[in-house]
Amino acid sequence: MAWDSPSDDGGRDASRQGTLGDDLERSVAYAEQLMISINRARSRLRTFRLVQVALFFVGATMAVTLALSVSLSPAGSAGSELQPFTIYLPIMAGIVGVAGGLTFFVGPLRRQYESDLMTTIEITRAVREVLPAVAKRENWTEIRHGTMRARLSRFPISDRSGI
Protein backbone atom coordinates (compact mmCIF):
# COMPACT_ATOMS: atom_id res chain seq x y z
CA MET A 1 0.00 0.00 0.00
CA ALA A 2 1.40 3.38 -1.00
CA TRP A 3 0.23 5.16 2.15
CA ASP A 4 0.88 4.04 5.69
CA SER A 5 -1.78 4.36 8.32
CA PRO A 6 -1.51 7.92 9.72
CA SER A 7 -0.92 6.50 13.18
CA ASP A 8 1.69 3.95 12.13
CA ASP A 9 4.68 5.94 13.36
CA GLY A 10 2.86 7.11 16.46
CA GLY A 11 4.01 10.63 15.66
CA ARG A 12 7.64 9.73 16.52
CA ASP A 13 9.15 10.40 13.10
CA ALA A 14 9.83 14.13 13.21
CA SER A 15 10.66 14.29 9.50
CA ARG A 16 7.08 13.28 8.68
CA GLN A 17 5.45 15.73 11.05
CA GLY A 18 3.74 18.68 9.40
CA THR A 19 0.68 20.76 10.01
CA LEU A 20 -2.61 19.29 11.10
CA GLY A 21 -3.82 19.99 7.56
CA ASP A 22 -1.11 17.67 6.22
CA ASP A 23 -2.28 15.00 8.66
CA LEU A 24 -5.84 15.38 7.40
CA GLU A 25 -4.70 14.96 3.81
CA ARG A 26 -2.68 11.86 4.75
CA SER A 27 -5.72 10.45 6.55
CA VAL A 28 -7.95 10.96 3.52
CA ALA A 29 -5.32 9.37 1.27
CA TYR A 30 -5.29 6.34 3.59
CA ALA A 31 -9.12 6.22 3.50
CA GLU A 32 -8.96 6.35 -0.31
CA GLN A 33 -6.65 3.34 -0.34
CA LEU A 34 -9.03 1.52 2.00
CA MET A 35 -11.91 2.44 -0.30
CA ILE A 36 -10.19 0.67 -3.19
CA SER A 37 -10.02 -2.53 -1.08
CA ILE A 38 -13.64 -2.01 -0.01
CA ASN A 39 -14.83 -1.71 -3.61
CA ARG A 40 -12.82 -4.77 -4.62
CA ALA A 41 -14.25 -6.79 -1.71
CA ARG A 42 -17.75 -5.58 -2.51
CA SER A 43 -17.37 -6.69 -6.10
CA ARG A 44 -16.15 -10.14 -5.00
CA LEU A 45 -18.98 -10.50 -2.50
CA ARG A 46 -21.45 -9.65 -5.24
CA THR A 47 -19.93 -12.28 -7.53
CA PHE A 48 -20.06 -14.92 -4.77
CA ARG A 49 -23.68 -14.07 -4.13
CA LEU A 50 -24.52 -14.44 -7.83
CA VAL A 51 -22.76 -17.81 -7.98
CA GLN A 52 -24.60 -18.97 -4.86
CA VAL A 53 -27.95 -17.96 -6.37
CA ALA A 54 -27.07 -19.70 -9.65
CA LEU A 55 -26.07 -22.88 -7.78
CA PHE A 56 -29.31 -22.79 -5.85
CA PHE A 57 -31.33 -22.65 -9.08
CA VAL A 58 -29.31 -25.43 -10.71
CA GLY A 59 -29.72 -27.61 -7.60
CA ALA A 60 -33.44 -26.90 -7.36
CA THR A 61 -33.96 -27.64 -11.07
CA MET A 62 -32.08 -30.91 -10.77
CA ALA A 63 -34.07 -31.95 -7.70
CA VAL A 64 -37.37 -31.27 -9.52
CA THR A 65 -36.15 -33.12 -12.63
CA LEU A 66 -35.06 -36.07 -10.51
CA ALA A 67 -38.39 -36.23 -8.70
CA LEU A 68 -40.31 -36.05 -11.99
CA SER A 69 -38.20 -38.70 -13.70
CA VAL A 70 -38.69 -41.10 -10.80
CA SER A 71 -42.43 -40.53 -10.63
CA LEU A 72 -42.91 -40.78 -14.42
CA SER A 73 -40.66 -43.85 -14.98
CA PRO A 74 -42.59 -47.07 -15.96
CA ALA A 75 -43.33 -49.41 -13.06
CA GLY A 76 -41.36 -52.65 -12.76
CA SER A 77 -38.09 -51.47 -14.34
CA ALA A 78 -35.94 -51.48 -11.19
CA GLY A 79 -32.66 -50.68 -12.93
CA SER A 80 -33.98 -47.60 -14.74
CA GLU A 81 -35.44 -46.17 -11.49
CA LEU A 82 -31.97 -46.01 -9.96
CA GLN A 83 -30.28 -44.58 -13.06
CA PRO A 84 -31.23 -40.88 -12.48
CA PHE A 85 -29.93 -41.08 -8.89
CA THR A 86 -26.55 -42.38 -10.02
CA ILE A 87 -26.24 -39.45 -12.47
CA TYR A 88 -27.70 -36.58 -10.45
CA LEU A 89 -26.66 -37.36 -6.89
CA PRO A 90 -22.90 -36.90 -7.44
CA ILE A 91 -23.58 -33.65 -9.32
CA MET A 92 -25.84 -32.35 -6.53
CA ALA A 93 -23.24 -33.32 -3.96
CA GLY A 94 -20.71 -31.32 -5.98
CA ILE A 95 -23.01 -28.30 -6.02
CA VAL A 96 -23.49 -28.48 -2.25
CA GLY A 97 -19.71 -28.75 -1.87
CA VAL A 98 -19.04 -25.68 -4.04
CA ALA A 99 -21.75 -23.67 -2.23
CA GLY A 100 -20.23 -24.67 1.12
CA GLY A 101 -16.76 -23.72 -0.10
CA LEU A 102 -18.03 -20.30 -1.14
CA THR A 103 -19.46 -19.69 2.33
CA PHE A 104 -16.03 -20.48 3.73
CA PHE A 105 -14.56 -17.65 1.61
CA VAL A 106 -17.45 -15.21 2.02
CA GLY A 107 -17.31 -15.03 5.85
CA PRO A 108 -13.77 -13.64 6.25
CA LEU A 109 -14.15 -11.43 3.16
CA ARG A 110 -17.32 -9.88 4.58
CA ARG A 111 -15.70 -9.30 7.98
CA GLN A 112 -12.72 -7.58 6.31
CA TYR A 113 -15.08 -5.50 4.16
CA GLU A 114 -17.11 -4.36 7.18
CA SER A 115 -14.02 -3.59 9.21
CA ASP A 116 -12.43 -1.52 6.40
CA LEU A 117 -15.71 0.32 5.82
CA MET A 118 -16.03 1.26 9.50
CA THR A 119 -12.42 2.48 9.59
CA THR A 120 -12.99 4.59 6.49
CA ILE A 121 -16.17 6.09 7.92
CA GLU A 122 -14.47 6.96 11.21
CA ILE A 123 -11.51 8.59 9.48
CA THR A 124 -13.61 10.67 7.10
CA ARG A 125 -16.08 11.66 9.82
CA ALA A 126 -13.23 13.01 11.94
CA VAL A 127 -11.73 14.86 8.95
CA ARG A 128 -15.12 16.37 7.99
CA GLU A 129 -15.63 17.56 11.56
CA VAL A 130 -12.38 19.50 11.87
CA LEU A 131 -11.70 20.43 8.24
CA PRO A 132 -13.44 23.86 8.22
CA ALA A 133 -11.66 24.98 11.40
CA VAL A 134 -8.25 23.67 10.29
CA ALA A 135 -8.59 25.14 6.79
CA LYS A 136 -9.42 28.51 8.29
CA ARG A 137 -6.66 28.45 10.91
CA GLU A 138 -4.00 27.35 8.42
CA ASN A 139 -5.21 29.75 5.71
CA TRP A 140 -5.83 27.07 3.11
CA THR A 141 -6.35 28.26 -0.43
CA GLU A 142 -9.81 27.84 -1.97
CA ILE A 143 -8.46 25.20 -4.32
CA ARG A 144 -6.91 23.13 -1.53
CA HIS A 145 -10.07 23.30 0.57
CA GLY A 146 -12.32 22.58 -2.44
CA THR A 147 -10.20 19.61 -3.50
CA MET A 148 -10.32 18.16 -0.01
CA ARG A 149 -14.09 18.55 0.15
CA ALA A 150 -14.44 16.89 -3.27
CA ARG A 151 -12.30 13.98 -2.07
CA LEU A 152 -14.43 13.64 1.07
CA SER A 153 -17.62 13.66 -0.97
CA ARG A 154 -16.77 10.19 -2.30
CA PHE A 155 -17.19 8.63 1.16
CA PRO A 156 -20.38 7.53 2.92
CA ILE A 157 -21.57 9.02 6.21
CA SER A 158 -22.24 5.68 7.88
CA ASP A 159 -22.41 1.96 7.08
CA ARG A 160 -26.13 2.49 6.43
CA SER A 161 -25.47 5.09 3.70
CA GLY A 162 -24.64 2.67 0.92
CA ILE A 163 -21.55 3.09 -1.25
Partner 1 sequence: MAVDDYWEAVRTRWSRSTVLANVDYAASVPNHFKVARNLNIFAPPRIPLAVTGMRGAGKTTLHKALRGRLTIGQSEDRLESPKKEAEVILARTPSGKRRFQLVVIPGQKDSLPGQRAVNAHFKGGRFPLGVIHVVSWGYSKIWDAESARSEIDALPVTAGESHIDRVRKYNLELELGDFRLTRELLQDCWQDRNPAVWLIIAVAKVDLFRGDLSEAGRYYLPASNPNHDSEFAKELRGFVNFLGEGLMRRLAVLPVSSLPERYAHGNSAIESSGDFDLSSRLAVNLSNTIGDFCGLG
Q: Is 156 in the site for partner 1 (CB under 8 A)?
A: yes
Q: Which is nearer to partner 1, 18 or 101 (CB)?
A: 18
Query: Distance between CA 88 and CA 72 in Å, rounded?
Result: 16
Helices and strands, counts by H and E, the chain: 3, 0
Residue 51, CB half-sphere, CA atoms under 13 Å: how many? 17
Binders of partner 1 among residues 100 to 139 (CB under 8 A) are 124-126, 128-134, 136-137
Q: Is 150 in the site for partner 1 (CB under 8 A)?
A: yes
Q: Which is nearer to partner 1, 68 or 126 (CB)?
A: 126
Q: Is 149 in the site for partner 1 (CB under 8 A)?
A: yes
Binding residues vs partner 1 (CB under 8 A): 124-126, 128-134, 136-137, 149-150, 152-163
